[in-house]
Amino acid sequence: MNRFIDRVVLHLAAGDGGNGCVSVHREKFKPLGGPDGGNGGHGGDIVLEVTSQVHTLLDFHFHPHIKAERGTNGSGDHRNGARGQDLVLEVPPGTVVLDAKGETLADLTTVGMKFIAAAGGNGGLGNAALASNARKAPGFALIGEPGEAHDLVLELKSMADVGLVGFPSAGKSSLVSVMSAAKPKIGDYPFTTLQPNLGVVNVGHETFTMADVPGLIPGASEGKGLGLDFLRHIERTAVLVHVVDTATMDPGRDPISDIEALEAELAAYQSALDEDTGLGDLSQRPRIVVLNKADVPEAEELAEFLKEDIEEQFGWPVLIISAVARKGLDPLKYKLLEIVQADRKKRPKDKLAESVIIKPKAIDHRTKGQFQVNPDPQHPDSFIITGDKPERWILQTDFENDEAVGYLADRFAKLGIEEGLRKAGAQTGSNVTIGGVTFEWEPMTSAGDDPILTGRGTDVRLEKNNRISAEERKRASQVRRGLIDELDFGDGQKASRERWEG
């Protein structure tokens, strides 16, 4: 069964960045070889690429959850991790990318055009890259950033120059079949066409595409019949063709009332891509009326009788044809080509196929002040800090490593966060939330200055004042060895091996 899918929701997760490595070069007779931890590899991107080999979004309908490859971790000896492989998803021309709010992110119209739908996370820096005059042998590395994870909506809007609209069984599919090489399913009952049919029409050395849009009936905008799901395929068309059945025997129907009913439904349909197609609203699109089935004598007589009235009432060109008998097709082809060529001259030239739309926008790391300090609405005396830089830095930090936390504090201080919290009224012990991580703020007067070097993985500024003294450590050692009674703190008590043995 051939299913036509023209709208899907994708759940995307780009690859996470690999972690940086903490390593010190070790070689015989070279005990101080220096840091040599490599960087983690970047996570793979998820890229949408336009190709002429795909005509529907069917594959995404069955596999909407998509995840790219993770970057590998760095290792010693300055070996960087491998970048995660990009995941390229092929989409047909005319694919429109929307975010979860319905805002247009990209209009993919040209074969070869690419769009980064989800960017992979950056790999974390190894300790070799973090070495500086202040930290000659860092005992920490940065964690890889997670890749972008969000939902996107893909809508397919056919790249047709001519859109055929009309009641079911008006002969739209037959017209496409006789004017092009397309072979749509044709029958004499309503809703034979369940998917848009596209055909390429050759007129001398010129060509244009024609699309048959199914299921447009009175009440379609309210969900009757097939509804308006397929009308998105005529949003890009240069001209709309009303295919009118002049041989219908249905009561209450005639060519003029059919056109009026279809125009009412088109008016009820609001185009979502006016600014992207550049063609204005559907109501402003050129029209041609085609009175079909002139091979039936009564139908041809009715068409000749109403031709002038329709031209006078609507102001559109009217042509009488018979798709079955292939009558009147050449004048129709040349008239359509004339309108299409005039429209092509007005349209902006297509972008280069090699163009790549970059999303999201790159962060300018040279800009300072990329954060905001706001009171926490749910907790008094608490604050929430937002901004690209601090939120990224939180994700990169290993909070089990004191030196890494000290490095984070230095970055915050240089960015101005410490000063920003003071101005906002933060006090020692105030809860501060950054990127989903909440901690108690303890102003570090030396933050941003060169750190006092201690053991690798430690930072003396984070050491608490209540650390046990050397005397307390000695007493704890005697307790573990059984030389003294843990619970007896009498004056003058001395360690007694005899007492322990007894």
Binding-site positions for Mg(2+) read 173, 193
Q: How far apart are CA 161 and CA 206, in angstroms?
A: 13
Determine if residue 36 is left, alpha or beta; phi over 0 gives left, psi from -120 to 50 gives alpha, anything else beta.
alpha
Q: How far apart are CA 243 and CA 224, in angstroms?
A: 20
Is the bond into 360 cis (omega within 30 degrees of 0)?
Answer: yes
SS3 sequence of 425-443: CCCCCCEEEECCEEEECCC
Return the residue matching tokens 């848009």: 196
Instruction: Find residue 431's DSSP bridge partners.
Output: 382, 440
Which amino acid belongs to residue 411?
R
Residue 30 is classified by DSSP as: B
Q: Which two tokens stand for residue 332?
A: 């129709």
Among 422, 419, 395, CA closest to 408 = 395
Q: Are 81 and 74 in contact (CB under 8 A)?
A: yes
Return the residue matching tokens 């840091």: 35
Cα dist from 108 to 65, 92, 117, 348, whole Å: 21, 8, 12, 15
Instruction: Find residue 33's DSSP bridge partners.
Output: none
Q: How far apart are CA 363 and CA 343, in angstroms?
A: 39
First to last CA, the chain: 90
Residue 272 is classified by DSSP as: S
Q: How far apart are CA 454 and CA 463, in angstroms?
A: 11
Q: How far apart are CA 467 and CA 486, in angstroms?
A: 19
Among 430, 389, 426, 443, CA closest to 411 = 389
DSSP track, 36-96: -PPPPPPPPPEEEEE-TT---SHHHHH--EEEPPPPPPPBTTTBPPPPPPPEEEEE-TTEE
Cα dist from 263 to 108, 170, 232, 257, whole Å: 29, 16, 15, 10
DSSP percent split of the chain into helix, strand, coil, nearest 5: 25, 20, 55
Q: Are 50 and 155 in contact (CB under 8 A)?
A: no
Residue 16 is classified by DSSP as: P
Annotated binding site for GTP: 166-173, 191-195, 212-215, 292-295, 322-324
